[in-house]
Amino acid sequence: MRVCALFGGPRPGGNTDLLLQSALAGARDAGAGVEIITLYRLSIAPCQDCGACARRGECVYRDDMAQVYQSLDRADALVLASPIYFSSVSAQAKAAIDRCQAYWAAANANPPVEQKRPGLFIATAGRPDTRGDLFQPALAVVKAFFLSLNARLVGQVFAADTDRSPVAARPELLHTAREAGRRLVQVPENP
């Protein structure tokens, strides 16, 4: 099983990265191969709604998104990890997500027949989740993203309050992420 993991944070070793690394360690424990795409190192232009993908089924804009498409295409399971920025995913993550409009256009023309791939969403936020809805806007974005990639959300790992309580000091969260990564690659193919 091959996992494509999109790292949407800009800080290696930061809260989001630590959770992602734990999740991927869990996936590797369960025998999966892992490919990490570090989005902040790539040059990915925002979608310009040129309409080409609606006609051709693929994006015609040439930049580093090519390697993201390649990794997504061969993945059996997906992970998106992002810090929460202004209630949503990071700009790095959102640029890549919007460029996946090409998949949405292709799926619209030819609905996929193969089984949906499992997907895991990891997010961290600086503020405490006092109302229980801190991650909901980003979750809606990621559900739509996964749907366009013929994936389904099977797990989520959310860490709030990282400003006061960094993930590095929360071994229970790192354990939760590791288990989520393990489960991601063990979910039944055809639920």
Q: Rule CB under 6 A: which residues touch ligand FMN?
A: 9, 11, 14-17, 83-87, 124-127, 134, 162-163
Q: Which helix (H) or strand (E) holds 37?
A: strand 33-38
Residues 6 or more apart whose CB falls under 8 angstroms from that of 14 comprise 83, 124
Q: Which is nearer to ligand FMN, 160 or 185 (CB)?
A: 160
CA dihedral 173, 177, 182, 184 (to 10 degrees): 140
Q: How far is 141 from 102, CA to CA, in rounded Å?
A: 16
Tokens of 64: 């580093």
Nearest CA among 119, 121, 116, 120 for reference residue 189: 116
Q: Which is nearer to ligand FMN, 11 or 55 (CB)?
A: 11
Instruction: Quote the least distance from Cβ 122 to ligand FMN, whole Å.
Output: 10
Instruction: Quote the least distance from Cβ 48 to ligand FMN, whole Å.
Output: 23
Q: Which is nearer to ligand FMN, 82 or 150 (CB)?
A: 82
Instruction: Quote the least distance from Cβ 111 to ligand FMN, whole Å.
Output: 35
Instruction: Quote the least distance from Cβ 13 to ligand FMN, whole Å.
Output: 8
Contact 49, 43 (CB under 8 A): no
Q: Which is nearer to ligand FMN, 17 or 98 (CB)?
A: 17
